[in-house]
Amino acid sequence: MSRTRTALLAAMALVAGAAGTAYAAVPGDVGAAAVPCTVVYQVQNQWDTGFTAAVTVTNLGAAKSSWAVKWSYAGNQRVTSGWNAKVTQSGSNVTAANESYNGTLATGGSASFGFQGTYSGSNAIPATFTLDGVTCNVDGGGPTDPTDPTDPTGPGDRVNNPYSGAKVYVNPEWSAKAAAEPGGNRIAGQPTGVWLDRIAAINGVNGGMGLRDHLDAALAQKGSGELVIQLVIYNLPGRDCAALASNGELGPTEIGRYKTEYIDPIAAILADAKYASLRIVTTVEIDSLPNLVTNTGSRATATPQCDVMKANGNYVKGVGYALNKLGDVGNVYNYVDAGHHGWIGWDDNFGASADVFHDAATAEGATPSDVHGFITNTANYSALKENNFTINDSVAGKSARESKWVDWNRYVDELGFAQAFRNELVSTGFGTNIGMLIDTSRNGWGGTARPAGPGATTSVDTYIDGGRYDRRIHIGNWCNQSGAGLGERPKAAPETGIDAYVWMKPPGESDGASKAIPNDEGKGFDRMCDPTYTGTPRNGNNLTGALPDAPVSGHWFSAQFQQLMRNAYPTLP
């Protein structure tokens, strides 16, 4: 459902990777009165094998005459030299101790130092910092602290990763449809997202289950253990301004209705003490905020509808309001939609999108502490991990970034993008403990078309095209893609910084109709769902790659479901 941006100019210079910053909690973030210290860790420069970083520590406790900051690396980073501190390393553990001239650290005082290091692979920002043995960037807890695990009744019930040690809710309505398909029983027990895509969905549509029905069913599935239920919050005013297939019921200016008729009732239900034992994951407003970066202004991809939403601010206001109200419920975990690598992975979209997310997280009473994490690839098809090529490959004298497929993007798959974007989000002011979700419901790309190795080295294009798992005609194609397959099964904590792989988009539910179909859901006909359409600047004016005979978005599409099972990777039993 997500869009892409137009190609960067071919003459664009290759530049070093974007810097990442670990930003500490600040007063107002998470019960900040009890935060003992903060650490800001910033990668200032980064190249293929090395980097420089700057660190600032602020002491919020008793004054000190000497100090030592410590952290551990998850990767293979090695410190080679430092300045303004004695920086040493043992294994993955780093210690930065004061010099003789900067040992005094008053209450509220700060000290800064820097270092140079080497790395290979990823250069992830450390998750935890200590000052003289005390953990920084988190507070000491308390009965009203949102991160306090000792409070059994309120927001303190939140855990770092809601998926760890928990089952995940199986939607009975989706499960029944899957089981009714030939071979569908193989996946009918998988957990999927519950989409609240209009006001009527709160109470149930056409006799179907409403929000309370799903929560009650989740309690029954929970038993004595922990259980996550996944909800998709998806009804912004002027929804999905760059497409038609997933337009919504609310007009661009109906922010009042969004608040009072949609978010407020949802928040009231979720706050019912009956459901306090559930871990409620909300994925907030997919296909919204990145549009304000990629599809506005003078860009070739701009649409009048997105310009309107940027001008009136109702995307930012709506997301902020949702984060604020839902974040007040102690067992709700808000994950904001963060597009995918083929949408905001380019240099001119990457940091700008993170800034917009932070704007939304500080709007309408929200704060970054209302955001538990972010989700990428929701309802999209980007491959989880491309193993046959990397962004650093060079073929026939050209970088992989120069290929038509990569098109100067800095990322080639969702895992690399999600981990890097997490660091960028932290750098804008989100907490260092945020986690990422990746929707793997339709990005497996298995079957007979899955390549076993790289393509021919005749040119950079033959190399990339012959080896890529993602078989779309263009990475901007998003509707009911031909050849797609089920991806990795839902799984908790599969990689560093990733809270879970999830199936937020229920496999078998259409992205949009392949021809105009009248409906009462506010969903239009988007030519990107028409297999005969030759496209727009967002997909390089290519064919759409969409399956024929598709129903309205969200409706059951048997042919797609069968294809997804047939092309699953890992394969189905």
CA atoms within 13 A on the CB side of 310: 17
Q: What would the two tokens of residue 206 be?
A: 């056409």
- Main-chain phi, psi angles of 152, to 5 degrees: -80, -5
C-alpha distances in Å from residue 409, one per residue of 95, 265, 279, 402, 475: 36, 41, 36, 9, 11
Asked if 514 and 444 count as a contact pair (C-beta separation under 8 A), the reply is: no
Asked if 563 and 485 count as a contact pair (C-beta separation under 8 A), the reply is: yes
Positive or negative torsion for Cα 438, 302, 365, 325: negative
C-alpha distances in Å from residue 445, one per residue of 441, 483, 563, 571: 11, 7, 10, 10
Instruction: List Cβ neighbours of 100 (8 Å cut-off, separation of 6 or more).
Output: none
Cα 344 → chain centroid: 11
Asked if 62 and 37 count as a contact pair (C-beta separation under 8 A), the reply is: no
Residues 98-112: b if buried by 16+ CB within 10 A, e if exposed = beeeeeebeeeeebe
Asked if 96 and 55 count as a contact pair (C-beta separation under 8 A), the reply is: yes
Closest CA to 129 of 102, 96, 91: 96
Question: What is the residue-wise DSSP string for 151-191?
Answer: -SSSGGG--S-TTTTEEE---HHHHHHHHHSTTGGGTTTS-
Spatial distance between the Cα atoms of 17 and 494, rounded to a whole number of angstroms: 24
CA atoms within 13 A on the CB side of 481: 26
Cα 533 → chain centroid: 30
3-class DSSP assignment, residue 43: strand
Spatial distance between the Cα atoms of 563 and 558, rounded to a whole number of angstroms: 9
Which amino acid does the sequence have at 459? S
Asked if 521 and 487 count as a contact pair (C-beta separation under 8 A), the reply is: no
Spatial distance between the Cα atoms of 420 and 38, rounded to a whole number of angstroms: 22
Residues carrying an active site annotation: 287, 511
Spatial distance between the Cα atoms of 302 and 402, rounded to a whole number of angstroms: 24
